[in-house]
Amino acid sequence: MITATSSPNIALIKYWGNRNDALRLPAADSLSMVLDTPTVEASVELSDVFTVQSYDANGTEKPQTEQSVARLAHHFTLAKEYLVSLGRGKNLPKNISLTIRSAIPPAIGIASSAAVFSCLGEAYGALVEGRPLSREEVSILSRLGSGSAGRNSYGGFVALINHADGMASSYAEQIADEHHWPLHDIVIVPSVKEKKVGSTEGHAAAATSPLFAERLRAIPKRMRECISALRTRDFEKLQVVSEEDALEMHRVMESQNPPLQYLSDETHRILKEIEGLRKSEKLNVLHTMDAGPTVHLICAEDSVQTVTEFAEAQKNCLIFKTKTGKSSRLITS
């Protein structure tokens, strides 16, 4: 049995839209911070038929939808295709049984797909005979299941960079490891309602937004600025570029066809209040939102106490605290 572990990541320069939906090849580069909690573990065993069993934080079995099993099975097929293309296809199993244990509490606004598929990228990489796969190769295996999962194959701050064409043409590059600049992510969840449209469908319609082409033109400069802010630990620079990018991604989502409105009135209220507090208390805090109303408040050590108190004072919101973490990795093989 092969077992791997991983956790989610939070994007500072967002991935939205693909140049190839089937292979999850992003239309542009993106960059995120890998988080240290909550964790997911995935185990792979050889089997005659493809099966999936999934358990929540309490060890209770979660029923799998047909759609989610089909996505996992398709990822396994793509992963084998990629390994064969590397000349590493010898003795790969025809089928496997997957056991996924997720400590990600339901509805905390942290997408689990990056954590799940990066575990699977690690585990599938361990199916090959001979030399271990490189971190780039593991990143590609993970990305084939969920675009953002491709950014978990290193710890700390990780970019997903586009290269020439083909299945293997987008993979991770580490900008700085998890010890370089420990940052906190205080997550405020205003609503636990399930979103109606997931990222996969959303990515596929991104190009229908009249703002999409302009976004693609803006990203290379933002990537350079974000990388420079991270390398020099310049919080203000990081705040300006990441907030601009996240809010622009939401304008793209809201103007695509059909439009996706992930931010709620509560999200906007929280943003306004934290911006006021940041100004009055001179806090090193930035806000960012993925495909949902959840607000991630990323902050430096000197500001974490005030930001946590602000989060805990929010009525009817779930709060989750996490920070910069390590890469996806094998536990047993």
The contact set with ligand DP6 (CB under 6 A) reads 11, 14-16, 24, 30, 111, 113-114, 146-148, 199-200, 203, 290-291
Output the smallest distance, CB 15 to ligand DP6, in A: 3
With respect to ligand DP6, which residue has the nearer C-beta, 122 or 290?
A: 290
Pairwise CA distance, residues 70 & 203, whole Å: 19
Output the smallest distance, CB 139 to ligand DP6, in A: 13
With respect to ligand DP6, which residue has the nearer C-beta, 195 or 329?
A: 195
Pairwise CA distance, residues 141 & 136, whole Å: 9
Output the smallest distance, CB 14 to ligand DP6, in A: 4
Q: For residues 122 and 6, is the Cβ–Cβ distance under 8 A?
A: yes
Q: How many CB atoms lie within 10 A of CB 172?
A: 26
With respect to ligand DP6, which residue has the nearer C-beta, 159 or 307?
A: 159
Pairwise CA distance, residues 86 & 130, whole Å: 12
Collapsing DSSP states into helix, strand and coil, what is residue 134?
A: coil
Output the smallest distance, CB 282 to ligand DP6, in A: 29
Q: For residues 7 and 16, is the Cβ–Cβ distance under 8 A?
A: no
With respect to ligand DP6, which residue has the nearer C-beta, 92 or 107?
A: 107
Output the smallest distance, CB 262 to ligand DP6, in A: 8
With respect to ligand DP6, which residue has the nearer C-beta, 51 or 200?
A: 200
The beta-strand segments (E) located in 7-60 are 9-13, 18-20, 25-26, 30-34, 40-47, 51-55
Q: Specify the DSSP element, H or E, that contains 64.
A: none
Going edge to edge, which strands form the sheet with 30-34? Answer: 9-13, 30-34, 157-162, 170-176
DSSP characters over 178-200:
TTT---EEEEEES--PPPSS-HH
Dig out the tokens for 222 from the structure: 């933002």
Output the smallest distance, CB 306 to ligand DP6, in A: 27
Pairwise CA distance, residues 172 & 264, whole Å: 32
With respect to ligand DP6, which residue has the nearer C-beta, 5 or 112?
A: 112
With respect to ligand DP6, which residue has the nearer C-beta, 3 or 152?
A: 152
Output the smallest distance, CB 71 to ligand DP6, in A: 9
